[in-house]
Structure 1
């Protein structure tokens, strides 16, 4: 049956289609074999330009992450103080003579920013937006056979500052070359929805918009394949119009969900006579969902809370250069925590993120803009708004609308027009653009003014969901303040923490800074923030404060925590040398902070018992001991075998606490349910640093010049106890079929470069990122530090 305003969508993913068995359409990576020059040369677009001294590299590439942190860089502290500027890319390539009758297209998934492209000296165009995907037709200017072609790309990220966070610089997302017949299906031309879904059947509708050149000589075939590649439905119809509607019924459909993200494939074929002219296959999913003003959110008819996090697009030490494994690792850590949704703050994401969310089972709020006509930074997107916002928003919706993971559009974040009447007109315009291309999903905007009488974007009446940033103090009264409206917490918390650092006492909540006008004066001299969940930015809350409210009320459909991971830039609450954020549940290197386990205890059913802090302190010092736990009635703590008390959660408590005098030894916690032991954990006092330990998240990776192994570096004492305050300088050596791609330690103030063969540990941990080469074989990683026994680890790169 069809439910009113039931946001159903569901299929097709990524725009770079894959060739069918007939290989009619050919999509190949265009990442390899580029040359790069950091600087500006107005003649570098010429065919015969001498680029012999330029650096050779493969894409994706972020040149800023290779630079040095410096407070004098014009990017400012907000962007991490890394260099920007202008860079040029060139590539020589051949097109076979057999393709002379074809159309050759190039797709850029994203270039930051102000990219301009030339092919064989011919100017193709400019795209200011650094986050959107775009395409050029190379065909009219190409040479075929043995004649070389030259593509040149100028990237101008010199207009600084232009962002409130680290953007990266360069061709930082993937590039694809598409070879098709002259008559072919246009980019992003098909929109696939499921107007009817029930356990017995799903009706899949495929709406394809075609150019007039594809006429009655042609037919369009659509087929649905299950995860075993079996055809479960198909239809073929003659083309009689420029808009083709096809309906396919799938019996007993397997529904996509966050717990079981079942994926189908849709195969489209353009046929003339008995010959396939063009085809592509896309991954699909079938599902339906609904927002209710009283009951909140449901997926496939089942109520559920949206347990989301906001993510910026950098990958820590790798910068913004897209790497599928790096994104996958982030999502795996979040999935293990119980997270089920991602907000792409505050821009269109890389296609790979959406592909992985489809595959792994994450809902996605797909966000467009951080500003409209009114600026937030001196040279941000407001300079391009008038000319580009319509095209950029249309392209985002067209590109992403068939992903089963995408369940909502956000047209902006904390937009300044919410404070004046232009918020009404622009808000309505943007929602209309979205709805013309996709009327199956709700549209929201992340509002920072929670007063419905004053917020002009809300007053536009165009939003399907009221998205509120912070102001958790008004959530309980949402139904009173917004009668009949549907709620989503678009951005919450802004809690602050440094992994592995603890300030006592822990049971008082602090707001750092206390307002937005004066620098923090009562912080820590070493620019740390306590890892107890008791510090937040003045506009936000601790993690526990807001989660208790969201958890309590059904009409609060869910929320997105700011943020899942620390990110480069925006280092509230400190000034330089702080250069990355303190907001993450997980630090920049991918090491969980303690509050990760609070969420895991609340958002999952797996047994959790997490004890903090570490157990290396001054004798007699008063220490606050916390435990996060679930699936148990109580936790008893023991210090050197002696009980220090049983604690039980009461009311809406999310943790328990003991206050004890420190003595070295073993601090142990035991959780019980009905008197039976559920879990036991302990922290042990460490002795003097003795040796290095290396642990790889994966000891077998693909030999494809892309795959990664993340190696955790720690220091142990003679009894193999981790040393929690280890900060040694560790030097790395990598031999064999891999390279050291980056190093990190999760510190928000470490100004040592990410691209290096050495790095200090921070609060006991460090990270080395190993990338494979293209040849199978062993990768040997060695780590040395003065006064410590070295460590060695072997990774296998396999085909």
Structure 2
């Protein structure tokens, strides 16, 4: 009880301190919620006793905490994890000094069918699990010493409602926002740059005000552009702005002299700070990012950014974070984007739903060309219980909120209104496409509107026939690319989804002489006994093709703006081509644990200008076996292969070839590749035959992390021999123990058919590797993580946490 009172006291102090000093306060509302699967309608009341409920912090995904089970096979496409119905409650006090404020609660996303109450008063329902929304609390709140209770019911019990893993619960951030009675509305500042060149950029700012006073008011608005060094470089003040009704809109024009342009290599960000004054007193302040850039999609030349021809080298990304599930963590998303950036990726498609806002913040800062996607289905369903049932009542509101929330992100270059929509096959596609395009353009006319289409024959595609798309996005069927200019004259194109190649990291099958496509029927799908697929790039879904073949088609089509490969990472759910017990996808260039598959280096050799040399497979085989040896390379003319210092010949890539290959009779020892340019050695790589597994090697991506209760260190566990060589087929059970200022929040190994839980202190290695994810507490100090396994030397790593 003392702890509970202390939490409430902290909230009181925080809110009172703000109310006396600031015009707007955004309060982190994630801490100390009560959670239960108990379905008791009395939970909406303040008198309900929730002391026996679990206490936790948001964001929270209860599905990822469960066990993979055949009991959840109705959600196999969603990962075979539990869903269901649950409740969240939070008690808090509001200081008397906040009585004259307007108070809101905002949710970045709740999956799904959320209903919210404050002090027993019903605030509303939001079916869409990816939508951001808010409710006003003001008139229902109690101020002073009486407690307030927010109750949220989350119902994800109707299954299946998705084709991939969604997570369950309040899995995105929650905030309380307090403003003056006159304030900038939600997502109420919108900036565009109608004119940009090397000398100047014109900036147009739209400010939307909310007036809760019930009478006409007069205010002053000042908008300032601030550069990355914190210097104000432009400002505009508008006085005597009259707000006659509940809302008001005002426009301002500013200029930036010699602007620094946002690009994928230098994503320079300004910010716009808009302040509202009344009677010379600041009553509100609102901040948005500003990236100054110009771009063009051309029917013949593809895409250009700031006047420079640029091929979009993108990937599609689902929203789950592997072992962390759908619960948002900024560091986990940042790690994903860092790995993709090093690969040479410059674009992200948010497949197939609105992402979390923090993900777009990262894309702004790191330089990605984003296709922001709204819907996976319209009125016609893809799953029995999906969003199609809510379409008529909610699609306009959901799309409007999506555009308004995201339209200030410079990383977004195109809006996608759908993915492989079933209405493309009949005339309803014409009507709905036009309706959605009008909604988008009314709110943002500065970007391209597209939709990811499966049919690349004009007569078969009614969405195309609508004439409402600025850019035609086509999924797969790369063999049709050469005919696009003829079949779709004067149209602009993007390969919105490509490849769907299939691999398990570290698994190699030979010989690799032809592309193997999966069966349409999973029951008749040939399968390996361990539910793996070969990591050579020659296995693909029946609708797709290999990474190399897909990239070759895009690379050689100058009229196609670029590609979004399916997918950047493996993801939970959609375990094609295998049924249960497979429970996650095989499509990723990087596995679910964040370990790159070999094809990662093919993209790196094509998508970057740095030297690359990557040799595969491992070098532990039966004596005399013929092994296919591949090398991906770049910035070189040739690669020479050596086995135990004996040359096996020089290979050079031909036109539209992306690797070189040797067939080698195996003998133990050292396989070495040497790349050269004009006779000069560029890179050398060696792979040695590994001996018996001897010890564990633990490597952290960060050994200094923030003591904020959120930051993460991803600790890679390698099973190595006495000389430090990775043992390629090691599958030891690794046990973890942890002491100090941190906890283990997830474990993984990237194996798509592993049924071990993600929330555990152990993990079996898969092909020599596994992962522990460590999260800091809010106290500075040290975290000591020990990894051990039977018969191996253990390893200990120390991670420091600082404010």
TM-score (normalizing by structure 2): 0.96
The DSSP-based 3-state class of the residue aligned with 1:739 is strand
1:148-172 Cα offsets, whole Å, 9 max, x none, are 1111100000001110000000000
Q: Aligned residue for 1:167?
A: 166
1:282 positional shift: 2.2
- Kept in 2: contact 1:39–1:85 (CA 8 A): no
Partner of 2:703: 699
Aligned to 1:6: none
What's the offset of the Cα at 1:734?
Answer: 0.7
Partner in structure 1 of residue 611 of structure 2: 607
* Map of 1:462 onto structure 2: 468
What residue number does 1:402 align with? 408
1:364 is the counterpart of 2:370:
yes
Count of aligned positions: 779
Q: 1-side partners of 2:590 and 2:27: how far apart?
A: 35
Aligned pair in 2 of structure 1 residues 544, 20: CA closer, same or farther (>3 Å)? farther
Question: Which of these residues, 508, 517, 522, is aligned with residue 511 of structure 1?
Answer: 517
**Is the aligned partner of 1:182 residue 2:186?**
no
Q: How far has the Cα of 1:740 moved from its partner?
A: 0.4
* Alpha-carbon contact 1:498-1:530 (below 8 Å) kept: yes
Match of 2:162, SS state, is coil
How far apart, CA to CA, are the structure 2 residues paired with 1:376 and 1:443?
A: 23
Matched residue, 1:222: 223
CA contact (8 A) 2:127 2:390 kept: yes
Q: Which range is displaced more, 586-595 or 69-78?
A: 69-78
Q: 2:767 aligned with 1:767, yes or no? A: no
Shift, 1:75, TM fit? 4.0
User: Structure 1: how far apart are the matches of 2:53 and 2:122?
Assistant: 22
**Match runs of 1:277-316 below 5 Å:** 277-316=283-322
Alignment-derived partner of residue 501 in structure 1: 507
Q: Whose helix fraction is larger, Structure 1's or Structure 2's?
A: 2
The answer for the alignment partner of 1:41 in structure 2 is 40
Unaligned runs of 5+ in 2: 1-17
Distance 2:769 2:444 in 1: 46
In structure 2, distance between residues paired with 1:605 and 1:503: 31
Q: How does 1:623-662 map to 2 (within 5 A)?
A: 623-662=627-666
- CA distance, structure 2, for counterparts of residue 652 and residue 164 of structure 1: 35
Distance in 2 (alpha carbons) for counterparts of 1:780 and 1:454: 60
Answer whether contact 2:288 2:408 (CA < 8 A) is retained: no
What's the CA shift string for 1:626-684, capped at 9, x where partnerless? 00000000000000110011000011110000001111110000000000000000111
- Corresponding position of 2:270: 264
Q: CA deviation at 1:74?
A: 5.2
**Is structure 2 residue 441 aligned with structure 1 residue 435?**
yes
Aligned equivalents of 2:306, 2:216: Cα separation in 1: 39
Runs (5+) with no aligned partner, structure 1:
1-18
Q: What is residue 235 of structure 1 aligned with on the other side?
A: 236
Q: Which residue pairs with 1:780 in the alignment?
A: 784
Q: 1:365, 1:407 within 8 Å by CA — same for their partners in 2?
A: yes
Query: How far is the alpha carbon of 1:519 from its aligned partner?
Result: 3.0
Partner of 1:27: 26
* Aligned residues of 2:226 and 2:271 also touching (Cα < 8 A): yes
SS of equivalent residue, structure 2 residue 650: strand
Aligned to 1:726: 730
**Which residue of the partner structure matches residue 11 of structure 1?**
none
**342, 346, 354: which one pairs with 2:352?**
346
CA contact (8 A) 1:75 1:84 kept: no
Return the alpha-carbon distance in structure 2 between the equivalents of residues 83 and 586 of structure 1: 25
CA–CA distance in 2 between the matches of 1:23 and 1:413?
Answer: 44
SS in 1 for 2:43: coil
Residue by residue, what CA displacement relative to the aligned partner does 1:533-587 show, whole Å, maximum 9, x if unpaired? 0010010010000111111121111010000000000001001110000000000
Alignment-derived partner of residue 53 in structure 2: 54
Secondary structure of 1:664's match?
coil
Within 2, Cα distance between the matches of 1:45 and 1:429?
Answer: 38
What is the root-mean-square deviation of aligned Cα atoms in Å? 1.3
Contact preservation (8 Å) 1:86, 1:158: yes
Q: Distance in 1 between matches of 2:524 and 2:331?
A: 37
1:739 and 2:739 are equivalent in the alignment: no
TM-score by length of 1: 0.96
Preserved CA contact (<8 Å) 1:316 1:568:
yes
Are the equivalent residues in 2 in contact too, given 1:520–1:574 (CA < 8 A)? no
Aligned to 1:9: none
2:341 to 321, 335, 338: 335
Q: Distance in 1 between matches of 2:169 and 2:249?
A: 38
Equivalent in the alignment of 2:12: none
Instruction: Please name the residue that 2:459 is paired with.
Output: 453
**Residue in 2 that maps onto 1:13:** none
Corresponding residue of 1:15 = none
With a CA cutoff of 8 Å and minimum separation of 6, indicate the structure with the bigger relative contact order.
Answer: 1
| 2:44 partner SS | coil
**CA spacing shift, 1:84–1:464, aligned 2, 3 Å:** same
Partner residue of 1:484 out of 477, 490, 496:
490
* Alignment pair present for 1:752 and 2:756: yes
User: What is the rounded CA distance, in whole Å, between the counterparts of 2:619 and 2:341 in structure 1?
Assistant: 29
Find the aligned partners of 1:517 and 1:731 in 2 and give their Cα distance. 38
Pair 1:573–1:518, CA change in 2 (3 A) = closer
- 8 Å CA contact retained: 1:580, 1:748: yes
Residues 601 and 612 in structure 2, CA contact (< 8 A), matched pair in contact too: yes
**SS in structure 2 at match of 1:185:** strand
Question: Structure 1 residue 411 and structure 2 residue 417: aligned?
Answer: yes
